[in-house]
Structure 1
Amino acid sequence: MSRLLIRGGNRLQGEVTIQGAKNSVLPILAATILTGGSVVLRRCPRLRDVEASIRILQALGCKAGWRGDVLEVDTAGMSGCDVPDALMREMRSSVIFLGAILARCGEASLTSPGGCELGPRPIDLHLSGLRALGAEIDDTGGTLHCKAAKLTGREIVLGFPSVGATENLMLAACGAEGVTVLSNAAREPEIEDLQGFLNTCGAEITGAGTSTVVIRGGRPLHGGTYTILPDRIAAATYLCGAASAGGEVFLRDAREEHLSAVTAVLREAGCDVTGGSAGIVCRRTGRLTAPRPIRTAPYPGFPTDAQAILMAALLRCRGAAVFEENLFSSRYRHVDELARMGADIRVSGRTAVVLGVERLHGAAVRCTDLRGGAALCAAALAAEGETAISDITHIDRGYQSIEDDLAALGADIRRVEETASP
């Protein structure tokens, strides 16, 4: 077991380089199955979820290994089409392998995925889209048995711009005959990154980043080399860390065009945020002021993944900051832990109101999920005394080395390994 110990009171100062995007690399790892060859992924973060994806690939007969921060994958020898239950349970995004395996093998067998508990995240859109392409799916008994003698492209209108469904259908459509048009598709930068990787490997896809994605299927794919997009949520975490603790940080490689909803709120609250081709600078000197209500929404709206960390940055603001969570029903699980540190937060349904307090204090808190853990780190930077954060395996699912990055910015933070009592 590990804990993070953070002693607050230090203003952040300095520079860190933003890691590759977790939400890009996971669908790209699934996409390597379609290439049937050797792929080199640069700026690939070493995360628990990435390692889980590697184990899935290996269970399917593929090869994968690290060379520094470069991940090399060879799917030429893929020999299976079913993913073991234990591996599926490690992360929710494991369902992204369904479309790729089905497109390559004509069949796939997966159990229901696991991962962070953020409330219901049904995969109905994934399954209905695959059925529209010609797949036969038996989803009784907790296992998805999928078969498709032939996938055929067609127009699919998503009932909601789901990121996972958009990615899964893009992968399946690469193996379909003809043209697939995804309408009301998710517009996240990670969708564009998946398109970039697939096109590098010989696919013909256009429209990613808009609500209409067009995939011309049936093209033979091949291996290639690709550099993963910088992680916009990791960048948002360090921006909010600077907003919480004060100081000035430079986030190398962060792209403000992918974070404009977050940087706009930080500016309104009193931060000086400047974006350029090299990265983003965030400076906070005086006390923050509550901005207008923050409502999470699909991209390019305010990202649900940044809701908790922005809330942590505003715990000591002047006035009342209002949050409305519109995507996941259990995205306020961090609130009770922040309250242990002296935060004053009132939750009613999908709305949370943060009443700014004069000071926070260190406490023993528990990481409830990935983004809640990042929020606890941001809050601890501004707290008096020491905060001990347990259950940090959640944090390791999305951050390559959050303690190293924060320490490089001047935070008093360290990881403590503990042995469980017999």
Structure 2
Amino acid sequence: MKDNLIIEGSQPLYGSVRTSGAKNAALVLIIASIMAEGQTVLDNVPKIRDVEVVIKILNEIGIKAKWQDDGSLSICPPSGHVVSNTPYELSKMLRASNLFLGAFLGRQGEATISMPGGCDIGSRPMDLHLKGVQALGAKVEIEHGYIYAKRKQPIGASIYLDFPSVGATENIMMMAAKTPGLTIIENSAKEPEIVDLANFLNAMGAKIRGAGTDIIRIEGAEVLQAVRHQIIPDRIEAGTYMIAAAITGGEILVENVISTHLHPVMAKLQEAGAYVEENDSGILVKAGNKIKPVDIKTLPYPGFPTDMQSQMMALLCFAEGTSVIVENIFENRFQIVDELKRMGANIKLEGHTAVVEGPRRLNGAKVKATDLRAGAALILAGLVAEGKTEIENSTHIYRGYENIAGKLVSLGARIK
């Protein structure tokens, strides 16, 4: 019961809310910090469960990571060799633990990585990660749930990714940043978090060009020096609050955002009838008179993000007509459907496609957060449902949202 969230619905939300630092940028930058000489300081790091797990992993392997009085996070690796073996019990708690592969190979040429965990949203294989580090000269073996990698004769290489995997792009970038010669990643991921990693590594002394495009060029550096860096705002958290305004019939100013990162979400909210305005303070979202049906296909950035699909599905339950959602990234993203149907939604699944029939009146119910973004979607549904909604497994939500209950309460939500 202590991990459950209880929401009293039917309350429009008004006011302003500040977005925290990006979960997916923070995790990779914290891990990349182990490649630097000296003390790295990261600002705007979200205080979420996944970050705390990474901090525990670092401290367990002898790298000092701790919060500072000003809210920043400092990471200070020892000058010599560190234990390049991520502990199984902690690694299985988050997907990003696989990023230690590229960071350790870049730092000291060897890595023992426990197979990662995280949300059960579908198959996220490591083959592209391994293909990349092998091309850069690492020998890789997989045994008993661990990846063993050792750099033999490292040299830059041209690597083509069959799919623009964010994690594989990040692992290759980190290893290549300290691998002699020129590395070219083709069909690389273009997400804002990739650009943030490139900016961070470049500030430390790396030579990376093309981040944010589908071809990234990296010239290896001998030494990376620690720097102070500010994490970009979390576009998924911002998008979740934008939908909260539209779904509750309210008006919310979302502050601390980079609006270009949110254009796919903004476009779909406008299509659904919401008023969306960029201004100097952030992005203002005001609910329209009615919610219109919208068709969505999830795609790698700059397409519509898979991490916003569940939240949009919650909104479209109230649209006047039929919406079609095609999930092209993770096959298990539709676990949310059964939980929304428990609240009264009319959603039909056909393979990777969900057909949402609206408008429906949702009723409060006991539901379960099957993953991080599904949990956020259930909060949104609970904000409008009649009666009380109780969300079990809500610890999933705290993996990626800093103080989401407190922020929504400040807007007028009734959550405990």
* Structure-2 residue corresponding to 1:314: 316
The alignment covers a number of residue pairs equal to 413
Structure-1 separation of matches of 2:154 and 2:410:
50
Which segments of 5 or more consecutive residues in structure 2 lack a partner in the other structure? none
Matched residue type, 2:307: D
Matched residue type, 1:351: T
Shift, 1:140, TM fit: 3.0
Which segments of 5 or more consecutive residues in structure 1 lack a partner in the other structure? 415-422
Structure-1 separation of matches of 2:241 and 2:153:
46
Shift, 1:141, TM fit: 2.9
Q: Map 1:290-329 to 2 at 5 A.
A: 290-291=293-294, 293-329=295-331
Shift, 1:142, TM fit: 2.0
2:347 aligned to which of 345, 348, 360: 345
Shift, 1:5, TM fit: 1.0
Q: Map 1:158-197 to 2 at 5 A.
A: 158-197=161-200
* Structure-2 residue corresponding to 1:36: 37
1:380 aligned to which of 363, 382, 391: 382
Alignment of 1:244 onto 2:232: no
* Structure-1 residue corresponding to 2:150: 147
- Contact conserved, 2:205 with 2:221, CA < 8 A, in 1? no
Of 351-360 and 244-253, deviating more is 351-360
Partner SS state of residue 333, structure 1? helix
Q: Map 1:55-94 to 2 at 5 A.
A: 55-67=56-68, 68-77=70-79, 79-94=82-97
Provide the aligned C-alpha RMSD in A. Answer: 1.1
CA 1:194/1:125 → structure 2, altered by over 3 Å: closer, same or farther? same
Q: Map 1:37-56 to 2 at 5 A.
A: 37-56=38-57
Q: C-alpha offsets along residues 286-318 of structure 1, whole Å, 9 cap, x if unaligned?
A: 120102x20001110110000000111111110
Shift, 1:276, TM fit: 2.9
1:200 aligned to which of 199, 203, 215: 203
1:264 aligned to which of 263, 267, 271: 267
Partner SS state of residue 342, structure 1? coil
Shift, 1:49, TM fit: 0.6
Matched residue type, 2:352: R
* Structure-1 residue corresponding to 2:14: 13
- Contact conserved, 2:188 with 2:216, CA < 8 A, in 1? yes
Partner SS state of residue 335, structure 2? coil
Shift, 1:55, TM fit: 1.3
Shift, 1:58, TM fit: 1.3
Partner SS state of residue 251, structure 1? strand
* Structure-1 residue corresponding to 2:159: 156
Partner SS state of residue 215, structure 1? strand
2:287 aligned to which of 284, 296, 299: 284
- Contact conserved, 1:27 with 1:96, CA < 8 A, in 2? yes
Alignment of 1:100 onto 2:116: no
Structure-2 separation of matches of 1:362 and 1:220:
56
Partner SS state of residue 218, structure 2? strand
Structure-1 separation of matches of 2:360 and 2:180:
62
Structure-1 separation of matches of 2:11 and 2:298:
30
Structure-2 separation of matches of 1:174 and 1:277:
36
* Structure-2 residue corresponding to 1:27: 28
Structure-2 separation of matches of 1:33 and 1:222:
10
Structure-2 separation of matches of 1:79 and 1:309:
41
Shift, 1:202, TM fit: 1.5
* Structure-2 residue corresponding to 1:394: 396
Structure-1 separation of matches of 2:353 and 2:288:
29
Partner SS state of residue 139, structure 1? strand
Structure-2 separation of matches of 1:255 and 1:110:
34
Structure-2 separation of matches of 1:145 and 1:358:
51
Alignment of 1:403 onto 2:389: no
Of 21-30 and 50-59, deviating more is 50-59
TM-score by length of 1: 0.96
TM-score by length of 2: 0.97
* Structure-2 residue corresponding to 1:330: 332
- Contact conserved, 2:34 with 2:75, CA < 8 A, in 1? no
1:132 aligned to which of 130, 135, 141: 135
Structure-2 separation of matches of 1:121 and 1:397:
18
- Contact conserved, 1:305 with 1:371, CA < 8 A, in 2? yes
Matched residue type, 1:228: I
Structure-2 separation of matches of 1:351 and 1:143:
35
Structure-2 separation of matches of 1:99 and 1:201:
16
Structure-1 separation of matches of 2:368 and 2:392:
5
* Structure-2 residue corresponding to 1:420: none
Q: C-alpha offsets along residues 243-293 of structure 1, whole Å, 9 cap, x if unaligned?
A: 1111110000122211111111110110000123431000004120102x2
Q: C-alpha offsets along residues 70-128 of structure 1, whole Å, 9 cap, x if unaligned?
A: 11111135621111111211111100010110111211111211111111110100001
- Contact conserved, 1:133 with 1:176, CA < 8 A, in 2? yes
* Structure-2 residue corresponding to 1:418: none
Structure-2 separation of matches of 1:37 and 1:56:
19
